[in-house]
Amino acid sequence: MTRYASWILLLACVSVPGVASAQAPWRQVYKDGDITVIFDTATVSLQSPGTWNTVTSWDYARPRILENKKQYTRLVERAYVRCSPVRVKRVRSTVYAVNNVLVRDEGEVDPRDQAHMVWDRPKPGTPGKNAFETMCGILSRRRSPSASIPAKTTPEKAISVKAPAKKKPTGN
């Protein structure tokens, strides 16, 4: 009995703090009867000032059909996101069927081509617009000083400090 009590105590000491301090890396950012969108908060990073590198999973209640007639129920997408206003560049898409069977991986868009891609504006009232707006809310709360955009500063040598004007002596 003492052996089991010590195991339970050891398990409680080891597992409870880990569970209490751990935050789920995937957060639900949108859900309706047809789709659930989750956002990977563990891999999000600042791509460039004001642009976030994000990964989302779009899980559909009913299978969708690709142009090659294959069905899928999950789309995992890597995209660059700008939040003010919300704009998106989708740079990788992978689709899966039931039981996470890979259907198609589009691969990464070449970085040279990414520079010429247009920033998509999600259509109002769509799950995409709602999901990306929620993501931007999470990103704005998460933003740390190291991820913030630095304020423009003027180099010290360019700062001119004017001395107070001296009055000319009058010859009276």
pLDDT along the chain (172 residues), means of 10: 40 38 78 96 92 96 95 97 94 95 94 94 95 93 51 38 54 58
Type of residue numbered 9: L
Please give the structure tokens belonging to residue 37: 């969108």
Q: How many domains does the chain have?
A: 1
The answer to whether 78 and 88 are in contact (CB under 8 A) is no
Determine the Cα–Cα distance for residues 57 and 93; give it in Å rounded to an integer. 10
The parent domain of residue 119 ranges over 22-142
In a domain, 13, yes or no: no
Q: For 70, what's the count of Cα atoms within 13 Å in the CB-facing half-sphere?
A: 12
Q: Is residue 172 part of a domain?
A: no
Task: Say if 2 falls within a structural domain.
Answer: no
What pLDDT was estimated at residue 110? 94
Residue 152 inside a domain? The answer is no
Tokens of 80: 């660059």
pLDDT of residue 19: 40
